[in-house]
Structure 1
Amino acid sequence: MSYVDALPSDEESCFYAEHIEFRPDLAPAVTDDELASILPHCPNILHAQLTGVPDLSSRTLITLAESAPNLTHIDISGCADVTDLGLHALAAHSTSLVSVAINRIYGITDPALAQLVRGLPRLEVLEMDGLPLVTSVAVRDIWLFARGLKRWSMSGCVQVTDSGFPWVPEREQLRPMEDREAASGNLKPRTWLESLPPLVLPGTHKLNALRVLDLSHCVKLTDSAILGIIVYAPYIQHLNLAGCIELSDRAVHAVCALGNHLAAVDIGGLERVTDEGAFALATSCRRLQSVDISFIPKLSDLSVLEFASQPRLERLAAAGLPRLTDEAACFLAEHAFELEMLHLTFCSRITLEGVRAMLRRLTKLQHLGLSGIPAMRRRGVRRFSEAPPEGYDERKRGVYRVFREGKIRALGEFLEKEEWRRRESERMNIPFQPRGDDSRALY
């Protein structure tokens, strides 16, 4: 039996309860004390999502672990009162766990996380986003003991460094660069975490089941970490490296080794990446369905042209590319017929001609983001856009222009009508006056 935002009401219901869920987007439906009083009578719980119990304590988590030995899925993301003691209990009693989500629990430390992965031999999904106290020490244990992982997310773990990832001989090629930086005085003193011995794994010790890896905003990672990841997790399909600001073309070239296994990649915000790296990625991985290359100022039309030639591309985010022009927009219109989502926000050189070309040919578009583009201030365009979010200031952030589903088709028809009016005005040798309605009148 399943219970959503409610607790079992009697002894029989408690016994047969297998799924309890408290959603975080609503007012708390239950308190920590109420949950703790019920859990000892629920021995058959398999799935527990407790994100909607903000005051969840380690006491209650310990009770759950001791009472439900067959627990397979648990999500306690955002339950900030949980401590290492709760994770110790899960490792000791809930050894059947397959999926664990412990995002944004700021008190979790390395010893608890290490014991958790050591005690869960069936672990397949681990979400540990936003854990500021977790370092490379715990990450090394994940590589050693969680070989069955299929999905691993550690976004925003800002203390994790390269030493948490497998060492490969290719790392030695990066040493001359570090030596030059040290000689010039640009290399910072190494911390004890960075001085950990290399994590040398045997060639057969690989995370062959890993399909989804999210390392976004792990700001201390460098190219060396990516080299080891790709060698020891060679079948990744979804890779997120957004905001890892130390990465360069060398890391992108390493990702190319994933080849046709890679279906989705996010390298947004990697300011050191150039057209060379993006071009290599696009030519090596020909089954990409989702690509995010936003806010990489060195990229030009060349990168977008190559990604647009991907035969399966469904989502492309290329926001904040100041060098992007209508040439890229027209190439997308001619080649990326499978696109369903396209973000060109803050690409200020895109004009209405480029937008019209895309709308004419990309018939599968369901979401189009064109915010911050001066050309989209055009009279009559605003009425097709979604309403801006509360607090959005167009004077600071530019125009808000996000179009969805039928509004995309309506925008295309409006721009085609205005183009017809412009041509007719030229033919009749009269001044062209833009209109904001659907009328075809020239005056």
Structure 2
Amino acid sequence: MAYEQAGPPWTPPSVRVRSATQGIELSLSVSPSSSTGSDMPDFVDLQASAVSSPAPLAERVPGLDAGASASPADLPHEILLQIFGYCMGEQQDLLSCLLVCRRWCACGVQLLWLRPCFHRLSALFKMIHVMIQPEASFPYAQYIRRLNFSLLAGDLDDQLFGRMAACHRLERLTLSGCCQITDDTLIRVLQHTPHLVAVDLSGVAKLTDRTLYQLAATCPKLQGVNLSGCALVSSDGVMALANACHSLRRIKLAHCVRLDGSALLALLRACPILLEADFAGCVRVHDAAVREAWVRPSLLRELRLAGCTALTDRAFPTAAVLAEAPATFPICEHLRMLDLSSCSYITDETVRAIIAHAPRLRNLTLAKCERLTDDSVYAIAELGRHLQHLHLAHCGHVTDRAMIHLAQHCTRIRYLDLACCVQLTDDSIAAIAMHLPKLRRIGLVRLVRLTDRAVYALVERHTSLERIHLSYCDQITVPAIFWLMLRLPRLSHLSLTGVPAFRRPDLQGMCRVPPKEFNQHQRQSFCVYSGRGIHDLRRFLQRAYADQVTATQYGTLPADRQRIFYESLHRFLQPRE
């Protein structure tokens, strides 16, 4: 519908504006001369209304040309869209803007349909019904830029999704978990989306290389792709995507089991601004492809290779590889995150090489790299203040000496996972508590040598911890946990599964319900507190330890901590003046 830029007050024809987000209609067939008793407010033309419009702009601003526009309706379309964007949080405010004038109405409708939201299947039906109307007042489908169907993943099928072929200006598409969608429908929709920037197709099990070929043919602006769990995708499709979409910044290919190293090679060579690559669970990825990431200077910030079990030391710039290389390996200044979980063939040589060539790593995951020893931990300590997240679960050869050294040098660690590092003792935890003031989460699962001394030390100096995992630490007792809960006001998650002291019915009554897939034995030992359960457990233990007789049922606090608790309790109970 064509609108004039200026003229007499707007007396619109019968126009029906529809909201894609709520499936509602607004009748805009109200004229400025409507009675005050009308259900809808009158349209206000700011140029013609002497009541609501200020003095002419030329009279208010000295030196301005008398022909300058005094109406906000004359602002450029792009500026109006930018201003109305601040009303997106309150849709009623945006709907009110529709009733001002014809240009505001056009801009408001465009924003209402920018990003439809589907919480129920009925909302999608309503949107489709509006889109297919032959005499629609606005080209609604052309206004849609973002579509997210993740909340309808189990219900969306080819017939419904095929209607989105009319959305030719689509920029972002999310189909995560939509397992009923097939290649034919995806191709029919994607062939009309040349402006597509990001697409999430994770869990679309029927997707094959045909969809990737279509993306490569029609979406040259693509920057982000998520194909995690698409088991039918092969390296040929990823190579075609890489060779056509040189602006790719992020690609996730986790558990695409048919991929091999050629897909990673193509991405590294054809996409110079690639920032993130996820090949977790791609067991066919080989050493030569990963070595390319170290040989070729790039902007790569995140590289996930968890579960790439074929990788060895020759995938990294170790001394043996450097001796054979014709040129030196560059320093990867941009690399911040590296995940090598379950790469069981790598050794301390690999870790030393990684730290030497990626000196600014913040997040390093080496869980289940069972050959690593203290030498790796000493090398990691060279990252110093850069390191923030470290995962060493199941690295059973790590000892207290190396862990104490790490805590002394990497003082900005926020998340530390030491599950199943069975040689660690209370001394390591005491050093961690002393030197890591920013620590938020710590995993100490199955550290069987830990005692209450570790728990008391953990909260002795700092109270910033939010999540603690102490499952299967058999020697932990109730008094230590009670003291921990008193000292950590921010605690939101506490795992005590398999701890004998917490198998009491009165304590387990406040923990979370076990997952449905657990067997009977797992259900009996399950003990995890989070959210409301943390609050309830803290209050329960406070009442229990306020009574000395009751406290003996759960164990006695050490004398110095018992005195502190009773003093604080006495101050709390004292009447205020």
State the TM-score, normalizing by the size of structure 2.
0.66
Residues 317 and 425 of structure 1: CA distance in aligned 2, closer, same or farther (over 3 Å): closer
22, 28, 31: which one aligns with 2:182? 31
The match for 1:166 is 317
Judge conservation of contact 1:73–1:100 (CA < 8 Å) in 2: yes
Which residue of 2 is the match for residue 9 of structure 1?
Answer: 163
Give yes or no for contact 2:204–2:229 (8 Å, CA) kept in 1.
Answer: no
**Equivalent-residue separation in structure 1 for 2:522 and 2:204 (angstroms):** 37
Whether the 8 Å CA contact 1:132–1:157 is kept in 2: the answer is yes
Tell me the CA shift for residue 113 of structure 1. Answer: 2.3
Mark the CA change 1:196 to 1:333 in structure 2 (over 3 Å): closer, same or farther. closer
| Match in the other structure for 1:312 | 438
1:70-126 residue CA offsets vs partner (Å, 9 max, x unmatched): 110011111111112101201210111011111111111122321221111110001
Q: For 2:219, which of 68, 71, 74 is the aligned residue? A: 68
Contact 1:341/1:368 (<8 A) preserved: yes
Pairwise CA distance, 1:167: 2.5
How do residues 362-381 of structure 1 correspond to structure 2 at under 5 angstroms?
A: 362-381=488-507
Listed one character per residue, the Cα deviations across residues 205-247 of structure 1 (whole Å, up to 9, x for unaligned) are 1111111111111111110011110011000011111111111
The 8 Å contact of residues 71 and 94 in structure 1, kept in 2 or not, is answered as yes
What is the distance in 2 between the residues matched to 1:126 and 1:419?
52
- Measure the CA separation in 2 of the matches of 1:199 and 1:356: 58
1:405-424 matches, within 5 Å, as 405-421=531-547, 423-424=548-549
Residue of structure 1 in register with 2:274 after alignment: 123
SS where residue 381 of structure 1 aligns?
helix
Give the aligned partner of residue 440 of structure 1.
none
Amino acid at match of 1:46: V
Tell me what 1:114 maps to.
Answer: 265
**1:341 partner amino acid:** R
Contact persistence 1:359–1:409 (CA under 8 A): no
- Structure 1: stretches of 5+ with no match in the other structure: 172-194, 427-431, 435-443
Contact 2:544-2:550 at 8 Å conserved across structures: no
Instruction: Please state how far the C-alpha of 1:41 moved relative to its aligned partner.
Output: 1.5
Q: CA deviation at 1:42?
A: 1.2
Query: SS at the partner of 1:265?
Result: strand
The structure-2 alpha-carbon separation of the partners of 1:201 and 1:346, relative to structure 1 and needing over 3 Å to count, comes to farther
Question: What secondary structure, in the 3-state scheme, does the structure 2 residue paired with 1:9 have?
Answer: helix
Identify the residue that residue 277 of structure 1 maps to in structure 2.
402
Secondary structure of the residue aligned to 1:358 is helix
Please list every run of 5 or more consecutive structure 2 residues that lacks an aligned counterpart in the other structure: 1-144, 150-159, 555-577
Deviations 1:315-344 (A, max 9, x none): 111111000000011112222300011111
- 1:348-394 Cα deviation digits (max 9, x unpaired): 00011111110111111011111110000124101110001113245
Q: After superposition, where does 1:35-54 map in structure 2 within 5 Å?
A: 35-54=186-205
Please give the alpha-carbon distance, in whole angstroms, between the structure 1 residues aligned to 2:305 and 2:326.
Answer: 21
Structure 1 position 397, deviation (Å) = 7.6
Amino acid at match of 2:192: H
- Aligned residue for 1:57? 208
Letter in 2 for 1:58: D
Aligned residues of 2:308 and 2:342 also touching (Cα < 8 A): yes
1:227 to 347, 352, 361: 352
Task: Note the alpha carbon deviations across 1:156-211, whole angstroms, 9 max, x for none.
Answer: 0000000010124xx8xxxxxxxxxxxxxxxxxxxxxxx997457636x1111111
Task: Normalising by structure 1, report the TM-score.
Answer: 0.86
The answer to which structure, 1 or 2, has the higher relative contact order (CA under 8 A, 6+ apart) is 1
Task: Output the CA distance in 2 between the equivalents of 1:10 and 1:398.
Answer: 49
Could you tell me whether the CA contact under 8 Å between 1:330 and 1:354 is conserved in 2? yes
**Cα distance change, pair 425–314 in 1 and its aligned pair in 2 (3 A):** closer
Give the aligned CA root-mean-square deviation in angstroms: 2.1
